[in-house]
Chain A
Amino acid sequence: MTTTYKSIALRGVAAGAIAGVASALVQLLVTEIPIRAALAVEEAREPAGDGHGHAHGGEGELVSRGAQVVGGMLGVVVVGIAVGLVFATAYALSKRWFVDRTPFSRSTAFGLAVFGAVALLPWLKYPANPPAVGDPETVNHRTALYLGVVVAGLVIVWGASRLASRLTAQSQPVRVTAVLLAVVAAVAVVLLAFPAPPDTIPADMPVTVLWQFRLSSLAQLATLYVGIGVVFGLLVDPATRRAKADAPVAVG
């Protein structure tokens, strides 16, 4: 029964692990292709002598290339589990979030909102970059900006749920339109208020590799966050257990 916090938290961990594995598979099969291409660009730079002591995969490295691929996938699974746990807690705490819906649609909508706030919004403002892009000198500055956008995104989601619950007296079309307008306006403010990405894209990085990487990264983020919402919804919804016999849970 999903009536104690502990059982909900364990389902969050399971959902995070499953979505994390799916996302790690997307990484292995999709994202690693442009990463390899970007590393080749970086290696082509090495003889030029500008060794800032942070090359990937060359000799004398802390971690070999193979270990980076495995470690990267492992990292995605670990992040999935950690996020799944936080997701489950937020779900258990949310007294306003579509409380009239089924647990499955609540969880899926929650997953989509989290994806929008902590993945899509930062991706729009500070698009994902492959290796060989990015100055090590600015990494802390870029991290602060990135986390700022993540926090702003979460505040927008929280504000949207507050606004929606404030407007329950209105008809549904009025409520939905008002909340959507408010979200679009808030997103526009965040995109305009935060400064442009501090680093420029090096001229030797092919545009095709850059975009293949960015789209792969977005697909992987969607697999992780929307995946957590969908799998967690399947695990907590009593309707899933009743229908289990004729519809085995498929995740991919």
Chain B
Amino acid sequence: MTSPAAGLSAVRVPKWAFAVSLLGLIVTYLVLQENGLALGASSELLHEFFHDGRHALGVPCH
């Protein structure tokens, strides 16, 4: 066995990985931050459903 890090630092990251990561960031935004900027009035339901999680994770809430 060579150095354990050797195999990992050689990993090639494909282009679609950035799309996947962007999706992750968008999901995080929708769950934690969306207060009407992107979805308008329908964000209210999203906000209320994830309400306790938002407060618990310390993001700004109303």
Q: Could you tell me which A residues sit within 8 Å of B by CB distance?
A: 1-5, 8-9, 24, 27, 31-32, 35, 54, 56, 61-63, 67-69, 71-76, 78-79, 81-83, 85-86, 89-90, 92-93, 95, 99-103, 106, 119, 122-123, 126-131, 134-136, 139-140, 142-143, 145-147, 213, 216-218, 220-221, 224, 236-239
Contacts and interface: CB of A to CB of B under 8 A. Distances in A.
A8 B10 CA distance: 12
Contact of A221 (B4, B54, B58): B58
A134 to B, nearest CB: 6
Interface in B1-44: 1, 4-5, 7-14, 17-18, 20-21, 23-25, 27-28, 31-33, 35-37, 44
A89 B11 CA distance: 10
Q: Interface centre among B14, B25, B37, B61, by most A CB within 10 Å?
A: B61
A122 B58 contact: yes
10 contacts: A3-B8, A31-B52, A54-B62, A63-B49, A67-B49, A68-B52, A76-B53, A82-B23, A106-B5, A136-B62
Nearest to B31: A75
B11 A92 contact: yes
A218 B57 CA distance: 8
A167 to B, nearest CB: 20
Contacts of B58: 119, 122-123, 127-128, 217-218, 221
B45 A89 contact: no
Interface of B is mostly: helix
Interface residues of B, number: 43
A62 B44 contact: yes
A139 B51 contact: no
Given A62-B45, A134-B62, A147-B33, A35 B55 contact: yes
Contacts of A100: 5
Contacts of A213: 55
B7 to A, nearest CB: 6
Given A5-B12, A71-B51, A89-B20, 20 more contacts: A4-B11, A27-B56, A35-B56, A68-B49, A71-B52, A73-B52, A74-B53, A75-B31, A79-B32, A79-B57, A82-B24, A82-B31, A89-B21, A93-B13, A95-B9, A131-B55, A134-B62, A139-B61, A140-B35, A217-B55
Given A95-B9, A135-B62, A238 B1 contact: yes
Contacts of A81: 24
A9 B61 contact: no
B35 A99 contact: no
B61 A134 contact: yes
A130 B57 CA distance: 10
B60 A220 contact: no
Given A27-B52, A74-B53, A131-B61, A101 B5 contact: yes
A107 B17 CA distance: 19
